[in-house]
Amino acid sequence: MTAVTLLELKNLNLTFKEKGKELSVLEDISFTLDEGEFLCLVGPSGSGKSTILRIISGILNQYTGEVLYKGQPNPQPNPNVSMVFQSFALIPWLTVQENIELVLEARGMTPRQRVRTALKYIDMVGLDSFEDAYPRELSGGMKQRVGIARALAVEPEILLMDEPFSSLDVLTAADLREQVVNLWLEKRLPLKSVLMVTHNMEEAVFLADRILVLSARPGHIIGEISVDLPRPRDSRDKAFEEILDKVYSMILSSRLKS
C-alpha cells in the first residue's frame, strides 16, 4: 500500500519584523503529511511550531515557499483542516454547545443539523450533560475536550493540534491523550491525518507514527524518527524507551557540542 500524500510543505521560510529587526523564524521547512498518518512536530519553544500550524490553517499567510493540499495550492482557509488550540480558545460568552454550533453556523449549516452535529461530538468526547455549561465552569481538561469536539465537528480531513495537553496537569493530560488515541484508532471519523505539535517528547512517542524534530529558532528540521510500535503504547516498554532515547539524542546532538 503506497501512502497518499495529503499535505506537502516545500521550502517554507518566514521572517518576522520586530522593532526594525528581522527575525528568521522558519528556515527551509519541507515535509509531507500522508493519509492515515499521525505526525508529531517536536522542538523547543520559539522554534516556530505554532507558526507552521498557523500557516497550514490559513491564519498566517506572509511566508515564502509552497503549501500543497492534495497536490494543489492549499486553499486559504482550507475547509478540510481544523485546529485544536493550546489555550483552548473557547468563547467565554457561549455555552459548550453554542461554542461548537458557532463554527458549524459559520460553515452554513442549518439550525437542526447544527444541534444534531454538536450534540454528537459533545457525546463523543464524553461531555454529555455539560452542553449548557459555560467554559468558565469547566476544568482545563473539560475545556480541551470542548476544543477537540469543536475541531472534529467540522469533520476535517486534517486535524492540527497545537500543544493540546500542555496547559493541563499531568494526570488529566495522560487521560486525554488516551482518549485521543482511542478516537484516532476507532476510525469512525472522516479524519484522515493528524499533525500535532508538542515539546514533550514522551507525548510524541506515545502518539505519533512519525516524529519530526525541529531545531531552536530559526526552526529547521533536524531529522525524523518513525515510531513503529503497536497501539496502545506503554511508556515503560523497552522498545518505547529506545525510541525515546533516540529522539533525545537527535535533539541534543544537534544542539550540544560534545
Ligand X SMILES: Nc1ncnc2c1ncn2[C@@H]1O[C@H](COP(=O)(O)OP(=O)(O)O)[C@@H](O)[C@H]1O
Of positions 51, 74, 82, 97, contacts other proteins by CB under 8 A: 82
Spell out, one character per residue from 216 to 235, where the chain touches ligand X: x when CB under 6 A holds, - when not.
-x------------------
| Residue (65 or 77) nearer to other proteins, CB | 77
Of positions 46, 58, 141, 223, contacts ligand X by CB under 6 A: 46
Write the CB contacts of 133 (distance below 8 Å, at least 6 apart in sequence): 95, 96
* 202 touches, from ligand X, other proteins, Mg ion, none (C-beta below 5 to 8 Å by class): other proteins
- By the 10 Å C-beta count (0-12 exposed, 13-18 middle, 19+ buried), 172 is classed as middle
* 112 touches, from Mg ion, ligand X, other proteins, none (C-beta below 5 to 8 Å by class): none
For residues 179 and 135, what is the distance between their CA atoms, to the nearest angstrom? Answer: 20
Of positions 62, 71, 112, 136, contacts other proteins by CB under 8 A: 136
- How near is the Cβ of 80 to ligand X at its closest, in Å? 22
Binding segment for ligand X (CB under 6 A), chosen from 39-47, 73-81, 119-127, 151-159, is 39-47
What cell numbers appear for 50 in the block?
505554532
- In the chain, what is the straight-line distance between the N-terminal and C-terminal CA atoms, in Å? 42
Local structure of 19: helix, strand or coil: coil
The string over 25-47, giving b where at least 16 C-beta atoms fall within 10 Å of a residue's C-beta and e elsewhere, is bbbebebebbeebbbbbbbeeeb
22 binds ligand X (CB under 6 A): no
Residue for cell digits 487521560? 175
Query: Distances from the Cα of 180 to the Cαs of 69, 125, 185, 205, in angstroms?
Result: 24, 9, 9, 14
17 binds other proteins (CB under 8 A): no
Number of residues that bind other proteins (CB under 8 A): 55
Query: Of 29, 19, 36, 20, nearest to 55 (Cα)?
Result: 29
Query: Of 188, 157, 152, nearest to 6 (Cα)?
Result: 157
Bridging pattern class, strands 221-226 and 210-214: antiparallel
Local structure of 28: helix, strand or coil: strand
97 binds Mg ion (CB under 5 A): no
Of 113-152, which residues contact ligand X (CB under 6 A)?
A: none
* 85 touches, from ligand X, Mg ion, other proteins, none (C-beta below 5 to 8 Å by class): other proteins
Of positions 4, 10, 30, 59, contacts other proteins by CB under 8 A: 59
Q: Where along the sequence are the contacts to other proteins (CB under 8 A)?
A: 16, 18-19, 21, 23-24, 42-46, 54, 57-59, 77, 79, 82-83, 85, 87-89, 91-93, 102-103, 105-107, 134, 136-137, 154, 170, 199-203, 216-217, 241, 244-245, 248-249, 251-253, 255-258
**Residues in contact with Mg ion by the rule CB under 5 A:** 50
